[in-house]
Structures are given as structure tokens and as C-alpha cells.
Chains A and B, each alone.
Chain A
């Protein structure tokens, strides 16, 4: 994470947010590129494929949506599946909400719209730092914007490439998604309850892969969370020693209404 000056400004926070998100932007490049190419193969028009990136802006949902469209799924199945996959964003929002409760809606609307796994992982670390910077939401904005612009540019490049290179999706470059998520996951595992949550969720997701409407992912995540909570209650000293910084005890200072 980039070091911030002693007195953070809007500009320094914004730039730090962009900088700290950069590694995740690199991971999203092949992912956005492949999405653009795959969406065309699935039956979307070039404009529709770009429309998903502009308005939905959720990589894994866009992949799942494109696959369902290719398989001829009904509209309600596509929409319900997207909703289930994106429920994890409600939990991200719930984690960030106490830090953002002083922000006016003109900030909450765009920051909510731009919330992704990547930006969440980066900004939750910034909000949890103990300094009293009143401009942490500018850090959040920098992270959000760099992800959004990159995702749409990469989608566009993928659409153009998909029109000229056949079978691009069969190169196996969807691995970019997994390697990015691995790089995000491993540093999160700071104690045994967190490790157990990840192991239980991962194994359950493999086990429940065949459940309809991709509900296996949601079931597996809930089982993982339950395992983590139970383990934390059984090993209280291990958990409190390492997880204290993530407890949002202090309310953030009132940001200026800009």
C-alpha cells in the first residue's frame, strides 16, 4: 500500500487509491479482454457486450450472464442468477457502510455502483487504517474509477479482437480471473478461523457446483462464514490477537460536503 503524506489531500488520496488498485487493474486486463471476446461468441452484439460492462460492471456476473445467454436461458433465469452471484456485494456494502455513513448520496450512488471485489479489498484496508484523514472517500473514488475505465477499455479491445480472432475464448485465459482472486485471497488469511472459512467455502463450492442457478456459490460462502464464526468462538485468543485492526470501532471524521 502506498504511503500517504502526513496531511492527506483530496488529490493525494485519489492518486493513492488509483496506485494501490493498480495491481488488480493489471489482473483485470486479460479478464476484460476475454469477456469482450466471449460475449460476442455468446450472441451479444458489440454494443450490447459493451453495455454490460458500462451498466452492470461486474466481471464474474458478466461471464455467467454471457454463458447463460449462449445456452439459451430465459430472461428470469439470467436475472436471478446475477442477483444471487452479486449478493456478495451486499455483504461488502455492509462492511463499508459504517465508514461511509457520513457521505451524502451523491457520493454513495457512484461509489455503490462502482463497488467490485477488487475495489472492496483495496479500500477496506484504507478505511480501517487508524489515521483521521477526512478524504478516505477520495481514495475510494480513485480506486473505483481506475477499475471502471480499465474494465471498459479492455472490454472494447476484447470486442474488437473477438471480431477478428476466432476461438479466442478457448485459449484458457480465463485463468486470469482465478490468479487475481488467489492473489487477493492469500493475504486475507491471517489466522486459523479465516483459513477455515476459506477451506470450507472452497470445498463446499466444488461439492455444490451442480446446484441450479449457481446457488452453490452462495451456499458455499455462507457455510464458510459459519465455519469461521464457530472457529473464532472456539479459539477466542487467536482471533482477537490478529483481527482487532479490522474492527471499525472509531467513527470516521465528518468529511466536508464536496
Chain B
């Protein structure tokens, strides 16, 4: 493998630049309102784009079957989040559902 400290240095730079650079520059100039209106859609879009493939894809294939514990427990967690709006409860009940369901399936 490549020198791991080169990997760490490269990943550090390309992670820090979008975080700090935009913060430092954009705070000094006015942001057009249409861009701001668009930006509020970014968090739900990005989160959903990370979540859905993680739940639905197993080894790169779409799996909508009941033996997909990620999907079943993920739907359960979404229902808990929707009913309670409580993040901690969603995490605890969602993880518990996931581990219990996998134990039942014998995965």
C-alpha cells in the first residue's frame, strides 16, 4: 500500500478545504437568495443519498426481500423517527431492531 501518512495528508487537505475555505470566503460576500433557498435541500438530499443505497443494496444488488435486515430495520427506524421525532430513541430502537432481527434470521 501507498505510504499511509501520504494518504492521511491528502485526505486531510481535501476534507479541510471544502469545510474551512467556503466558511472563510463566503462569510465575507453576500450569498444570493436563490442559492440559499437551494441549500436547504442539501442536507435531506445528501443524507438520503447515503442512507438508501446502504439499506437497499447488498453486494451491489438491489435487495427488497425480508431477509435484508438493513432494509427491514431501516424502515422500522424511519417509522420510530417519524412518530417520535426523538433521535436518541430512533438510534437505540433502530439498532436493537437490527440486532434482534439478525439474531432471528440467524445471520
Contacts and interface: CB of A to CB of B under 8 A. Distances in A.
Interface string B14-25: 111111111111
A225 B42 contact: yes
A98 B22 contact: no
Contact of A55 (B12, B38, B90): B12
A186 B95 contact: no
B72 to A, nearest CB: 11
A213 interface: no
B36 to A, nearest CB: 7
Given A74-B2, A105-B24, A202-B51, A82 B42 contact: no
Secondary structure type dominating chain A contacts = helix
B48 A198 contact: yes
A56 to B, nearest CB: 5
A79 B11 contact: yes
Given A94-B26, A94-B31, A194-B41, A183 B10 contact: no
Contacts of B66: none
A100 B20 CA distance: 12
Given A51-B8, A79-B11, A205-B53, A93 B74 contact: no
B7 interface: yes
Interface in B50-70: 50-57, 60, 62, 69-70
Contacts of A95: 36, 39-40, 42
A21 to B, nearest CB: 10
A23 B87 contact: yes
Contacts of B46: 88, 91, 117, 201, 217, 221, 224
A108 B98 contact: no
Interface in A189-235: 189, 193-194, 197-206, 209-210, 216-217, 220-225, 227-229, 232
Contacts of A82: 10-11, 14-15
Interface string A44-70: 110010011001111011100100010
Interface of A: 22-24, 26-27, 30, 43-45, 48, 51-52, 55-58, 60-62, 65, 69, 72, 74-75, 78-80, 82-83, 86-98, 100-101, 103, 105, 108-109, 111-113, 115, 117, 120-121, 172, 174-189, 193-194, 197-206, 209-210, 216-217, 220-225, 227-229, 232, 243, 246-248
A217 B7 CA distance: 22
24 contacts: A61-B11, A78-B11, A79-B7, A91-B39, A94-B26, A97-B27, A98-B26, A98-B27, A109-B20, A111-B23, A112-B19, A112-B21, A172-B107, A178-B50, A178-B70, A178-B74, A179-B77, A182-B74, A182-B78, A182-B81, A185-B44, A199-B48, A209-B57, A223-B45
